[in-house]
Amino acid sequence: MSAPIIAANAGAMVAIIAAAATKKPQQEEEKIVTYDKNDLDGWEFKIIRSSFGKFKKPENIRKLCDEEAKAGWVMLEKFDDYRIRFKRRVEKRAMDQYSGVNPYRTSTSSGSGLLIGLIIGIIALFGGIFTLVYAMGIRTDPPMALPMVAVLILSVILAIVAIIVRKK
């Protein structure tokens, strides 16, 4: 198995894991967030997400609530360290242009883009290194040792990145 194939397979694996990780919270939200006609009459709702669990710290929650209050949003509940639900009266839309914030944002940072970029960069780096090694004619005994080491190292790096992201 060549290095580019290993990198492509690792990239596909990361994409599948990321898609599954995104789908689970959405399914959970659909189960726990229910609205009846009275809830919806004159109100709008949104969930703000943090890729890096920023809502673990109370000061981050306070800062978020202060920013959202400028557009009339009020915190309803904190689901976990990654999601907070807000509501506001629809009449508050009139002050959107004066609030100085994006009243319909649903994310606190571009952290997910940064994480995806980091993962793609790591995969590209390993693919390039192993393509270079094969192009130079460096061989190992047994022949599959090098790709197996590459997969092991890539797995360790991805695990370290995942641990760092969970701690933030």
Element spanning 88, H or E: strand 83-89
> Is 119 within 8 Å of 14 (Cβ atoms)?
yes
94 and 46 in one domain? yes
Residue 25 lies in a domain: no
Residue 15 lies in a domain: yes
Mean pLDDT, all residues of the chain: 75
Model pTM score: 0.56
Name the domain boundary from 106, 129, 150: 106
154 and 116 in one domain? yes
**Omega before residue 4 within 30° of 0, cis:** no
pLDDT digits (tens, 9 = 90+) for 42-68: 899 999 998 778 899 999 999 999 999
85 and 62 in one domain? yes
**Which tokens hold the place of 46?**
């949104």
Residue 28 lies in a domain: no
Q: Where in the sequence is the domain holding 88, given as residue range(s)?
A: 33-106
Confidence of residue 93 (pLDDT cuts 50, 70, 90): very high
Say which residues have a Cβ less than 8 Å from residue 104's Cβ, sequence separation at least 6: 46
Smallest Cα–Cα separation from 110: which of 38, 52, 46, 32? Answer: 52
